[in-house]
Amino acid sequence: MRLLNKDEIVKLANSYAKAWTAHDGAAVAGHFADHGTAEVNGAEPVKGHAAIAELTTALFEMFADLHMMCDDIRISGHNAVVTWTFYGHHADNAKFAKISGWEEWTLTDDLKIARSRRWYDPEDLIEQCGEAAAQMN
């Protein structure tokens, strides 16, 4: 295992946030290893680029003007915690939402995400957008 440096991981996190903001599910998925997994709030993980792109595209459809910002990063070896904020207007009711959360990443030597566990407060999202946002949980 090679030693990953913070600058590389910061660059990865910023590129990842940029792909989210560009609404490019394939680019988001491209940050993952071929058999990488992503899970949201402890739900069953999805595996592979196609499934990860599909998961992200569902969020783009719910928030057509979604923007994501990388807020902070904590690193330990091949593990990182990336805190983020996303904001946008819900497609069904145009209500504005600003949600903060984090992802726990396990990284490969070639700086791909092998595993991502994403966390946010679903009640906060429902409070901001109403029951229309419940389908995201």
Q: Give the pLDDT confidence of 43-57 residue by residue, as tens digits.
A: 999 999 999 999 999
- Phi, psi of 6, deg, nearest 5: -60, -40
Alpha carbons within 13 A on the beta-carbon side of 43 = 13
pTM given for the model: 0.92
HSE on the CB side for 20, CA within 13 Å?
Answer: 21
User: Please, what are the domains in the chain?
Assistant: 6-136 (3.10.450.50)
Q: Is 79 helix (H, G, I), strand (E, B) or coil?
A: strand
Q: What pLDDT, on the 0 to 100 scale, is given for residue 1?
A: 74
Q: Provide φ and ψ at 31, rounded to 5°.
A: -80, -10
Widest pairwise Cα distance in the chain: 48
Confidence at 19, pLDDT banded by 50, 70, 90: very high
